[in-house]
Structure 1
Amino acid sequence: MQKLIEANLYRSDLIPINGKLVERYNKCLKTLGFKQTKLTKFNIDGIGWSPEIAEERKDDHYLNHGDANPHGIIITPLQKNKPIYLPYHSFDRELMKQVFFTYENEIKDITRDSAICLDFDQKIDVFYNPLDILKYNKVIVSFRLIEDLDKIQEQQYQLIEEFNRNYNFIEEDIQKKLLQSAKRYGDLRNRTLKLKDLEFETNSFYTRSFKGVYLLRDFIKPILIFEDIDTYKEAIKDTEYDVLIYHVAQPELMEKLRDYIIIQCDLEAIVNTPKYKRIKKFELAQSLETPDHPIKEILTNTSLFKSYLNKLDMEVRIRVMSVELYLEKLERSNVYKLEDIVDQSLYFALHKPHSSLSAQNHDLVNKLLINIAPKDVLFLYWYDKEAFYRAYDSWDESLREWVIDIIRNNI
């Protein structure tokens, strides 16, 4: 990962937490019902998740009480617009944008000497079966301050009211209580410490619940797409809901997505795009066993690329070039069938979200497509960083260099 780190492509926008902020973070963990960290310094992202604490706990989702109860922590206003590196839902970034848009000034004020615990409540205490995902309609974001600072504020108001009543201002006991509260918490009278719940509407989304599920809800009929085969097998037993259910590896899924005008693929158009060139080069790189040249050099030098392409076994060569072979044959006759010539996974990788989709659904479908056919290294980095990092570990060092150049040239 060192080269990714040096290229600022590996969790490069985290916020360092140390000193007093560690103490506040631990108070948030305790408030939310989690074990406190023993680390004295760590980093957090936009939702308060820390890779170091996740490593300490051996649990990437240490801010969750089960699949149905995720949480967040705001400890500094610097979290505004920061990336969320391991979102539990595809809408987490938009949700946090709404939180900061609504309460930016209050967050700046509160985090001067406190921190905010976030509860994301979809009115489901626990999931019992995979189709419970369909109940996800909205998320209520509620806010809790560490040490109940908002309640301390109410106590100060009550003390002041009591102090001003009749001749109570001469009562030493009331004076003492006021002074003690002011010394410990400061004067809280003019601060906004009560944050009303926010309601966030959900539509189509991805969730890590049940080992990964896509819910496409904005189309002819709801579609549930499962990443885990066992969860999929359990889901198809449920006949209560009128919903289409697929496993992510089913070829029929792509056909249904095209029928529902969710995805599209124009081979004649895409063959001239950078996306196609990236995918073809990556496909060649994956097919090379013991090249005499560095892979980066092979992929960036046209002569070397052609040379190694011609050295491949005929079957592999046809697979790598199957799209162009199909288009060439199509110019001569329309009797040729795409499925007989074009490699299926390559064809799937060349699809894109339909132009009619909203921006939010566009990103979601791109994530789904890269999950189905992870052949575009740039889109894999953009839409599924964890999968990208896992794949990166398995690549040749020279291939890694080529991939880093591809990403840096497209930022």
Structure 2
Amino acid sequence: MERLIKSGLMFGNLVHVASPALVERYNRALKHLTGKTTSLTDFYVDISGYSPEVGHELGDDLYLNHAGVNRQFILLTTEQKRSPLLNAQFSTSRGILKQFIEENEPALFALTARDAVAGELVNSVYDMSSPARLFDIRRIKIEADTTNGALRQAEKLDERVERFMSEEDAWFDDVLIAEMIELAGQTGDVLRNPIDLKEMSFEQRNYWTSHFGGVYLFQDLELPGVICAQDKTPFEGGRVEYVFDLSERNRVANFLDLNGLVEPIVKARGIDAAAILRQKMDFVLVDALAGEGVEFAGRTRAEMRRLARRHSDLLPEEFHTLNALLNWAENGGPWPVITSDNPAYFYTLRAAAHKDAELVNMLLAELAPKDVRQLFICHKSLFYRRYETWADTKRAYVVDFLLNEYQVDKLGTRAALFGHDAPMEEPAPPVAKDPAADLEAVVARVGPWGPVTRRAGSKGKG
């Protein structure tokens, strides 16, 4: 993993905590939340304030996330909003923390200028003793305050100010005035500089969790379901009728299609499908030849094509299927019939335009793990686990690719892969003079996935 760390692909964008003042604030918050402190004077924290170095020192990587639920957090600066969330147990946690920071940024900036803000993502579940607990998680509420209780003190001061302004004899209440002066000394002028954090709660119905070997829950759908990375047995006979594991490719594919969660890459508007397919083929090629002593890093696409021709007998079905689809998209070749039994099937899909697109792309990354770019973007924990199993030649290629092709334009790459243009009205189909001939022409032109617009200048029946 050292290559990933040095390249900034692992533990990147963490906030450096090195000043004595910040360390002291961190320790106050850590003591407040967990009863523990760190003796370290230099460490890094993620968006939640979790530090790998502190976790190593304490011998507990879940010191801010006991039992993997109700994640606690420590904010030393609003810059933590740019950091990743390490050891994520739920796919929604980082988004919730980021939104909380952004929605309360002015108040948090003022609060963290003097103290750390400590808090918790609270739900009604306190352990993961059974799968049924996952279905009890419906809403996540954020509770937060500084370690010295600045928000509680501000609320008290606000109450006393309200009494002072509304009660008839408040001017003569020496006790009330003394309390206001004492509280104001701790909070400052709450009338000119209000200290308040918005009460925020978040619905959590569709999400991924690392519990029980990795589970994707889709509860807020017309056809709800659960997809398990490992054993599905504990979820059968529960609150959701449809329960699958990742080996049931046909059933998973049908579930995604019936709920309108995916679309074929070659059907998506506003993207260069051919370029995406070529890159996926490169990833499959590297995976196939990684044990053959071939060096990949720095090779041009022409050199990668020559490698594919030279070692065609070693290339798996995914490569040949994607090549057939690329030939259709670019050259008007025959439409390849790709069923869910084909190992390349999930490589040809991406999430459709809906609110759970990130979750679906995460699932697709697990179903198509040789696409290392999507795996890194959408499912980092799985990427890191698989990285440890790869040959060194593949590791070198992947790091080189991510540094030179992805890191230089993260937003552009994500938009090119997963972005959605505004929907356009589909043209009305022509009236067929010969139904049998027309059906054959339509299947040859668009295939079973529906209308597909070919790239400009392509040849064939499109």
Q: TM-score range by the shorter chain?
A: 0.7 to 0.9
SS at 2:243 equivalent? strand
Q: By how many angstroms is 1:204 displaced?
A: 1.8
Q: Once the 2 structures are TM-superposed, how far is the Cα of residue 290 of structure 1 from its aligned partner?
A: 5.6
Q: What residue is the counterpart of 2:351 in the other structure?
A: 353
In the TM superposition, residue 20 of structure 1 has moved relative to its aligned partner by: 1.6
Counterpart amino acid of residue 347 in structure 1:
Y
Match of residue 80 from structure 2: 79
Match of 1:246 in 2: 244
- Cα deviation, residue 366, structure 1: 0.6
Q: Aligned AA for 2:372?
A: V
Q: TM-score, normalised by structure 2?
A: 0.72
C-alpha distance in structure 2 between counterparts of 1:100 and 1:268, whole Å: 37
Q: Structure 2: which 5+ residue stretches go unaligned?
A: 165-169, 411-462
How big is each residue's C-alpha offset from its partner over 1:212-267, in whole Å with a ceiling of 9 and x where there is no partner?
Answer: 222223322221222232xx22111x34x243212233212122212222112266
- Residues 37, 321 of structure 1: alpha-carbon distance in 2 compared, 3 angstrom cutoff: same
Moved more, 280-289 or 144-153: 144-153
Distance in 1 separating the partners of 2:333 and 2:104: 63
Q: Answer whether contact 2:75 2:117 (CA < 8 A) is retained.
A: yes
Secondary structure of the residue that 2:107 maps to in structure 1?
Answer: helix
Q: Deviations over 1:330-352 (max 9, x none)?
A: 98988x8534xx97332222211
Q: Which residue of structure 2 aligns with residue 259 of structure 1?
A: 258
* Cα distance, 1:289 vs structure 2: 5.3
Match of 2:276 in 1: 275
Q: Within 2, Cα distance between the matches of 1:327 and 1:156?
A: 67
Structure 2 counterparts to residues 308-327 of structure 1, below 5 A = 308-312=307-311, 314=313, 316=315, 319-325=318-324
Q: Is 2:27 aligned against 1:26?
A: yes
Given that 1:225 and 1:246 are in contact with CA atoms closer than 8 Å, whether structure 2 keeps it comes out as yes
Q: Check whether the contact 1:116–1:145 (CA below 8 A) recurs between aligned residues.
A: yes
Q: Which residue of 1 aligns with 2:225?
A: 223
- In structure 1, the residue matched to 2:233 is 233
* Structure 2 CA distance for partners of 1:338 and 1:30, relative to 1, 3 Å: same
Provide the residue aligned with 1:207 in structure 2.
Answer: 209
How far does the alpha carbon of each residue in 1:28-67 deviate from its partner, in whole angstroms, 9 at most, with x for none? 2222235222221211122222222233344433211223
Who is 2:295 aligned against?
Answer: 294
> Alpha carbons of 1:243 and 1:29: their partners in 2 closer, same or farther (altered >3 Å)?
farther
Partner of residue 123, structure 1: 124
Equivalence for 2:71: 70
Distance 1:266 1:272, change over 3 A: closer
When normalised by structure 1's length, the TM-score is 0.79
1:153, 1:188 within 8 Å by CA — same for their partners in 2?
no
C-alpha separation between the residues in 1 aligned to 2:319 and 2:272? 13
Contact 1:129–1:235 (8 Å) recurs in 2: no
Contact kept in structure 1, 2:34 and 2:63, CA below 8 Å: no
Backbone CA RMSD of aligned residues: 3.9
Tell me which amino acid in the other structure corresponds to 1:199. Answer: S
Alignment correspondent of 1:52: 53
Q: Which letter does structure 1 place at the counterpart of 2:13?
A: D
Task: Structure 1 unaligned segments of length 5 or more: list them.
Answer: none
Q: Deviations over 1:279-325 (max 9, x none)?
A: 2112111111565652125x5242x4344324436363555213334
Structure 2 vs 1, CA of residues 44 and 364 (structure 1 numbering), >3 Å: closer, same or farther? same
Aligned to 1:13: 13
Q: Deviations over 1:100-141 (max 9, x none)?
A: 344222212221222221121122233442132222221111
Q: Residue 149 of structure 2 corresponds to which residue in structure 1?
A: 148
Partners of 2:83 and 2:408 in 1: CA distance = 22
Matched, 1:381 2:381: no
Distance in 2 (CA, whole Å) between partners of 1:81 and 1:289 is: 34
Q: In the alignment, what sits opposite 1:396?
A: 392
Partner of 2:438: none
Q: What is the deviation of 1:165?
A: 5.1
Larger deviation, residues 43-52 vs 362-371 = 43-52
Judged with a 3 Å threshold, the aligned counterparts in structure 2 of structure 1 residues 95 and 312 are, in CA distance, closer, same or farther, namely same
- Pair 58,367 (structure 1): closer, same or farther in 2 beyond 3 Å: farther
| d(CA) in 2 for partners of 1:36, 1:327 | 57
What amino acid sits opposite 2:380 in the alignment? K
Is the CA contact (8 Å cut-off) linking 2:281 and 2:322 kept in structure 1? no
SS at match of 1:90: coil
Decide whether aligned partners of structure 1 residues 82 and 310 sit closer, same or farther in structure 2, where only a CA change above 3 A counts.
closer
2:429 aligned partner: none
Q: Distance in 1 between matches of 2:334 and 2:74?
A: 61
**Against the structure 1 CA distance between its residues 167 and 208, is the aligned structure 2 distance closer, same or farther, given a 3 Å change threshold?**
closer
**2: distance between equivalents of 1:84 and 1:90?**
10
The farther-off stretch of 367-376 and 186-195 is 186-195
